[in-house]
Each structure stands twice: as structure tokens, then as C-alpha cells.
Structure 1
Amino acid sequence: MRLYALCDQELLDRNDLSLEDFVTIAKKNGAEVIQYRNKTADISFIKQQLIQLRQLFEGFLIVNDSFELAQFCDGVHVGQEDLQSIDSDTKKAVKILKEVIGKDKIIGISTHNKDEIIKANELDLNYIGLGAFRATGTKDVDSILGDKLDELASLSIHPVAAIGGVKLDDKFKNITYHVIGSGLL
């Protein structure tokens, strides 16, 4: 199992954890990637958090949605709606995103079903997030993939990160990364 730790600011606040606390836990569990997600703060706060995370963590650092801050990390993860807000043509959206963040940066997108995976196969991405595997306390999810997640992952030409309620002891065949947020705490 390869660990991709989701550092959600709401989760940190709810559990009275600092970035240092989260990074310590992530490192202890062997995290290779940390994604910082903050759906409510202004851009300057997110920037400061990314700068602090970069000082604390030497692995890959990804920002959720705030692609304008990609210079402070290694890449960006966007959802389907975020991609559509860039351009309704997803190929164009990814091309624009690459131009904005730089060709050397990582791009990952969330996928939730076979159709989204097939479309993602046509995109210049570094990975896809696939889920939700099960219900999670960090995000409202419309559908749970459960045991279908591993089978769907086999359809992707990109590395796949299992998202949504994933735990450290979950076992998958076709998954590159386990994305874990609250399950680390």
C-alpha cells in the first residue's frame, strides 16, 4: 500500500490538530503524498498553509482546487465540477490547467464511475482519484462504489488513488495509492 494523506483543514480544526501534528502522523504511516484541502479559507491562508507544509514535508505536496497556488507545491487535484468551470471541454480544461500551473506539475482529477474513467483516459493526467469507496466524514458523497472500486480502477490507464472512506488496512489490486484523511487520526 502507498499512502496519499488528505490534510483537510476542517478535519484538523475539528480534531484540534496543527499541520505539524498531521505531518507527523502522515510520516509515521509512510505517506508519500499530502494533499491540502480547504474549502472555506481565502487564498492567502491556503498559501500560508502550503508554505508551512512544504517546510514540514519532503514528499509530494498537492493542493486541492486552488490551482493558482501550484507554484507552492507539486501539483493540483481538481474535481469534475472544478474541471468544468475551467472549460466545458475537459481536454481543453486540462490543457489550460497545464499551461497555468506548468508542465512539470502533477494533475489529478476525481472520478466516480466508468464514464468518467474512460474520459479521463483521454486526458493528460498524472493520476485519478476514484471513489467514494465508502462513506466519509470529510465530504458528502452521492454514491458509494464499495467492492466495485477495484474493478473500475482496472479500466484506468493512469495510476489510481482510492478516495472516500479508505482505511489503512483496506486491500486493493488495481490501486496505486490509498487516500486517507480521518482514517489516519
Structure 2
Amino acid sequence: MRLYALCDEALLQRYNITLEQYVAIAKANNAEIIQYRNKTADIDFIKSRLIELRKLYDGFLIVNDKYELAPFCDGVHLGQEDISGIDHDKKKAIKIIKEAIGSDKILGLSTHNKQEVLEANELPLNYIGLGAYRDTSTKKDIQGVLGDQLDEIASYSKHFVAAIGGVKKTDTFKHVTYHVIGSGLFDES
């Protein structure tokens, strides 16, 4: 299992955990990637959290949605709605984003079904997030739970696949590179 740790600001507050404590948990679980997600804060707060995380963690640091903050981390993870908000043509949207963040930055995209995975195959991405695997209490806008179909759908991807949504450290997949775990790090630690 290769861990992609999801550092969600709402989870930190819910569990009353500091960034330092979070990074310690992620490191104890050998996280290769940490993604910082904050859906409510302004850009300056998110930037300050990325700067703080970078001081604490020297692995890959990804920011969720805010591609304008790419200079403060190693890459960006976007949802389908994020790229369609830039341009309805996904290839054009990704080109705009890649130009904005630079060719040396990691770019990931959420996918939810086989069609989106096949579309992602045509895009210059570093990885895709695929899910949700299970129901999760932390994400309210789940389009559908894939369950055991996730691994089969992952087999269609030409990119690395990060399983998202209710994933546990003990889950096993044949076609998934990373387990994206958020609250599960606290529940299982």
C-alpha cells in the first residue's frame, strides 16, 4: 500500500489536530504524498498552510483546486467541475492549467467512472483519483460509490491511479497505485 494522505482542514478541526500532529501521523504511515484541501478558506490562508506544511514535510505536497498556489507545492489536484469551470473542452482546460502551474508540477484529476477515466487517458496528467470506493462521511457530493468495480475501472487508466473515498490501509487493489486516506488515518492510527 502506497499512501497518499489527504490533509483536509475540516478534518483537522474536527479531530482537533495541528498540522504538526497530522504530518507526524502521515510520516508514521509512510505517506509518499500529502494533499492539502480546504474548501472554505481564502487563498492567503491556504497559502500559509502550504508554507507551513512544506516546512514540516519534504515529500510530495499537492494542493486541492487552487492551482494558482502551485509555486508553494509540488502540484495540484483538480475535480471535474474545476476543469469544466476553466473550459468545457478538457484538453484546453488542462493546457491552460499546465501553462499556469509549469511543466515541472504534478497534476491530478478526479474521475468517477470508466468514461471519465478514458477521457483522462487523453490528457497530460500525472495521475487520476478514482472513486468513491466507499461511502464517506467527509465528502457530501459523491456521484456514486464504485465498490469492487473501482479496481476494474482503474485497469483502463494509462495514468497512475489513486483510489479515493472511504479507502482504508487494509484495502487491496491490483490496478491502483495509491490509497488516498483522510479521516481513516485518524480512525486507524
TM-score (norm 1): 0.99
Instruction: Give the secondary structure class of the aligned counterpart of 2:157.
Output: coil
Q: Report SS of the residue matched to 1:14.
A: helix
Please tell me the residue identity of whatever aligns with 1:40.
T
Letter in 2 for 1:22: Y
Partner of 2:160 in structure 1?
Answer: 159
Alignment of 1:118 with 2:93, yes or no, is no
Tell me how far apart the structure 2 counterparts of residues 165 and 155 of structure 1 sit (CA, whole Å).
Answer: 21
Compute the TM-score of the two structures, normalised by the length of structure 2: 0.97
Which runs of no fewer than 5 residues in structure 1 stay unpaired? none
Partner of 1:177: 178
Gaps of 5+ in 2: none
Residue type of the alignment partner of 1:86: I
Provide the C-alpha distance between the structure 2 equivalents of 1:75 and 1:87, rounded to a whole number of angstroms: 20
Question: What is the alpha-carbon distance in structure 2 between the residues aligned to residue 99 and residue 78 of structure 1?
Answer: 15
In structure 2, how many angstroms separate the alpha carbons of the residues matched to 1:76 and 1:137?
Answer: 24
The letter for the 2-side match of 1:163 is I
Q: What CA deviation, in whole Å up to 9, does each residue of 1:44-88 have, x standing for no partner?
A: 000000000000001000000000000000000000000101111
* Contact 1:129–1:163, Cα closer than 8 Å, also in 2: yes
Q: Does 1:25 align with 2:9?
A: no
Summarize the alignment of residues 1-185 of structure 1 with structure 2, pairs less than 5 Å apart. Answer: 1-140=1-140, 141-185=142-186
CA contact under 8 A between 2:74 and 2:105: conserved in structure 1? Answer: yes
The 2-side partners of 1:177 and 1:72 are apart by 23
* Distance in structure 2 (CA, Å) of the matches to 1:138 and 1:78: 17
State the shift of 1:26 in Å.
0.3
2: distance between equivalents of 1:87 and 1:94?
9
Q: Secondary structure at the match of 1:4?
A: strand
Distance of 2:108 and 2:118 partners within structure 1: 15
For 1:142 and 1:128, locate their aligned partners in 2 and report how far apart those are by CA, in whole Å.
16
CA distance in 2, matches of 1:136, 1:101: 30
> After superposition, what is the alpha-carbon deviation per residue over 1:96-150, rounded to whole angstroms, capped at 9, x for unaligned?
0000011100000000001100000000000000000001122121310000000
Q: How many equivalent pairs are there?
A: 185
After superposition, the CA RMSD in angstroms is 0.5
The answer to whether the Cα contact below 8 Å between 2:112 and 2:143 also exists between their aligned partners in 1 is no
Rounded to whole Å, the distance in 2 between the matches of 1:75 and 1:158 is 16
